[in-house]
Copies of this chain bind each other. A is one copy, B any other.
Amino acid sequence: MRVLGVDPGLTRCGLGVVDSAPGRRAVLVEVGVARSAPDQAPELRLAAIAAEVEAWLDRHRPDAVAVEQVFAQHNLRTVMGTAQVSGVVMLAAARRGVPVAVHTPSEVKAAVTGNGRAAKAQVQAMVARILALPEAPTPADAADALALAVCHLWRPLPGRLVGSRGAEAVAPSGGGRTPAQVAWARAESAARRAAR
């Protein structure tokens, strides 16, 4: 299974492709950032990001796209541009028949660190460890995109755990849960308990 993780953004949009097979280590395929020039008109910036995302979709043909959930409550100045980018990314995936899953930042943190409220540096260090990289990719948007892809690959399978957002958008790839998925589920419930 191959997942394209997308950390949406208008100035920098993180993109990361990760492969995983049952019983195998997750493998980095490509990581990078799509950029647009802040002095351009917003619609041209969206078009620049969309063209790059489409090139990645066509080059890597992922089985799923995992996009970070955009929340309205933080950073009002940039949140609308971020949501617009997530919209054009979802459209590009839909037009290629690739299912889209949306994961919240705390789901991603829980997936890669076991703590839904982990610090950003910890998430990035774990992404590097999980993918056996010498260090976390930069900029942070690129590492965040990989964390999203890992989160999606390690998510609990549909019907096995209540409350896994986005999981229903992707057909289950196999039978039971892998050890990593069991660990994910445990970490997520722990994070949810801690958040209460």
Contacts and interface: CB of A to CB of B under 8 A. Distances in A.
Consensus secondary structure, chain A interface? helix
Contacts of A84: 83-84, 86-87, 90
A130 interface: no
Copy tally for this chain in the complex stands at: 2
Contact of A94 (B47, B76, B90, B91): B47
Interface in A69-111: 70-73, 76, 79-80, 83-88, 90-91, 93-95, 99-100, 102
Given A72-B72, A99-B41, A100-B41, A46 B90 contact: yes
Interface of A: 41-44, 46-47, 50, 70-73, 76, 79-80, 83-88, 90-91, 93-95, 99-100, 102, 169
